[in-house]
A and B are shown apart, each in its own frame.
Chain A
Amino acid sequence: MNRLKKIESLFHQALERENELRLEFLERECGSDKDLLKELCELLQSDSLSDSFMEEPAMAAHAVELSMISPQITEGSVLGRHRLLSPIGIGGMGSVYKACDIRSGQIEAVKILAPHLALTRSAVRRFLREAKAVAALKHPAIARILDFGERDGVYYIAMEYVEGETLSQRIERSPFSWQQVTDILLQVVDALQEAHKKGIIHRDLKPSNLMIKETGEIKILDFGLVKVQRGFGLHAEGFVSADTLTLPGTVLGTVNYMSPEQAMGKQIDPRSDIFSLGVIAYELLTGRRPFQRKTIGDTFNSICHESYHPIARFNYEASEKFETIVGKCLRKDPLRRYRSAKELGKDLQRVCEYDSPVRTGSFKTKKWLVFGAAAISLALVVLVLLVYWLI
């Protein structure tokens, strides 16, 4: 009998016995062969684990991933005027290919709606709405939409191809200096101003959606969850509604960068993006995510109710410059945050100009200094004139 047969036989014999009698049985059977005993104990241990290992057929377990790929779409396929070159990645709504515009030869990124999503009308509407909304945005820090449409039931968006790496990739290599962070934030804030002005909230700002080129230029990607704000201010559609998060095959966007109002499924406005940007700033400066916990539920709770460790704890130098600004982005109550990207931009500018955000207190001091200096000068002039007059 070969070794595996022996192991198998003992494995089944042990299983026939009561739990507490198994070890004794195996010790007797294995005798001096300690390796055999060890292996059998490990096998029985594995057997006793009641989790989902191989419970479902492989196909069912991996259906969602498989479904993200369109069967008729492969490298070389042509969609409208776009020829697909190679797959780049898979996003919440489908796959993305590096492609080439047949007419101009321009390299682009083509996003293809996952085939099972293309069947639901709401997914198609969302996909086209996203394309239309972003196509209306023209800003150097926003990846441009070049074309969108449908071919034989396949929905696609052609976008500007961005050479570079995402901030989440970049931060793994080395931390950013506070000057770099300021530069990144200023670019994003400027782009957000433009988007918010058009009633478009990004809703999914995170380091993996921000590309950084070698030149330091930033491009915001993937307005995947964008919904156009209807009317003015707070009349946006609810975000964490069932249709966004339980969209078949769609994976819920990361919760780490969500604002409290987003996490609670309330209506959101541009200040939600400000909160997300605050989380990003915090991470770029400290290398940590302020509200990340072990489970999604705990993270939600932390976003909504818990305070975070001050930046000073991890990066003293940056703290002086950013603690106040990040703090104002991360307020739980949107009414207490920066009212707009513009307002946040102004404070960030001050970081550059004065080398530290100017607080109201120091502003007053400066005014008094100027006033004092002027008064003293005036007094001196008067004194000199008086002396002259007396002589």
Chain B
Amino acid sequence: MTKPISKEQVTQLLQAWNLGDEVALNEVVPLVYEELRRLAHSYMRRERPDHVLQTTALINEAYLRFNEVKGLEWKNRNQFVAISACLMRRILVEFARSRDTQRRGGGQRQFTLNEELLADSGNDNHDLIALDEALTDLARLDSRKSRVVELRFFGGLSVKETAESLGISQETVARDWRFAKAWLRNAMCE
């Protein structure tokens, strides 16, 4: 139900992450996007969704497939993880948007869930959308913090992995994370 990612979006994404060699990546990012989406679903087929899903494992698998199977070169694994976290954000937010539209009666509501729980999941969707918007605001003020959030929350990376990916200390990641969480929550309430 999610739309394929557009060229402009890819460019924006790479700019946001200060990644060079845009031409090559322009071609690859849509493929990574599809691959992540496919993997996300197949993960859910394998694992019961009530189990915690390992986003990092998923991104890792995508990375391996791209390096080994498709023979595409990446500067390093960190570059791939950074892009993947960003794409996971897009996948999840777009999904939440489509659910939110449905909930507001954008389509005919045949075969709905019960209202209470629909309302609950509606709130979750709404939260995810609000969070995405707040995160975009935070990126304008402090792009490193927004990246930490992207990697931790959307990429599922640990503090250690996030630190490695961004080339900063774990302590800085922990401090950024704590502050960003408080900041985002306030921004979402406004």
What is A's interface to B at a CB cutoff of 8 Å?
Answer: 4, 8, 11-12, 15, 39, 42-44, 46-47, 49, 53-54, 56-67, 69-71, 74, 86-92, 96, 98, 109, 111, 115-116, 119, 161-163, 165-166, 168-169, 206, 208, 211, 221-222, 224, 248-249, 251-256, 296
Residue of A nearest to B127 (CB): A53
Residues of B within 8 A of A56 (CB): 52
Select one of B99, B142, B182 contacting A65, CB under 8 A.
B99
B114 in contact with A254 (CB, 8 Å): yes
Can you list 16 A-B contacts (CB < 8 A)?
A39-B186, A43-B186, A58-B154, A59-B58, A62-B92, A62-B95, A62-B124, A63-B44, A66-B40, A66-B49, A67-B44, A86-B107, A166-B109, A222-B111, A254-B115, A256-B114
A169 in contact with B40 (CB, 8 Å): no
Instruction: Answer whether residue B105 sits at the interface, using C-beta atoms and an 8 A cutoff.
Output: yes
B183 in contact with A43 (CB, 8 Å): yes
What is B's interface to A at a CB cutoff of 8 Å?
Answer: 1, 37-38, 40-42, 44-45, 48-50, 52-53, 55, 58, 88-89, 92, 95-96, 98-99, 102, 105, 107-117, 121, 124-125, 128, 131, 141-142, 149, 152-156, 175, 178-179, 181-186
Taking the closest CB of chain B, its distance from the CB of A150, in whole angstroms, is 15
Given A67-B41, A89-B112, A166-B110; 17 other pairs, CB 8 A cutoff: A11-B182, A39-B186, A46-B181, A53-B185, A54-B131, A57-B55, A57-B152, A63-B50, A64-B49, A65-B99, A66-B92, A67-B45, A87-B98, A87-B107, A88-B110, A169-B105, A255-B114
B114 in contact with A90 (CB, 8 Å): no
Residues of B within 8 A of A60 (CB): 52-53, 55, 156
Residues of A within 8 A of B183 (CB): 43, 46
Residue of A nearest to B138 (CB): A4
Residues of B within 8 A of A91 (CB): 111-113
Residues of B within 8 A of A53 (CB): 181, 185
Residue of B nearest to A204 (CB): B114
Residue of B nearest to A2 (CB): B141
Taking the closest CB of chain A, its distance from the CB of B94, in whole angstroms, is 11
Interface of A is mostly: mixed
B110 in contact with A116 (CB, 8 Å): no
Taking the closest CB of chain B, its distance from the CB of A65, in whole angstroms, is 6
A211 to B44, CA, bound (A): 32
A241 to B185, CA, bound (A): 39
The 8 closest A-B pairs by CB, nearest first: A254-B114, A71-B41, A57-B156, A91-B111, A67-B44, A63-B49, A46-B182, A47-B182
A43 to B181, CA, bound (A): 9
Taking the closest CB of chain B, its distance from the CB of A45, in whole angstroms, is 8
Given A46-B185, A57-B153: A88 touches B107 (CB 8 Å cut-off): yes
Residues of A within 8 A of B98 (CB): 87
A53 to B153, CA, bound (A): 10
B41 in contact with A69 (CB, 8 Å): yes
A15 to B177, CA, bound (A): 14
B115 in contact with A248 (CB, 8 Å): no
A196 to B49, CA, bound (A): 35
A296 to B114, CA, bound (A): 12
Residues of A within 8 A of B50 (CB): 63-64, 248-249
A366 to B1, CA, bound (A): 65
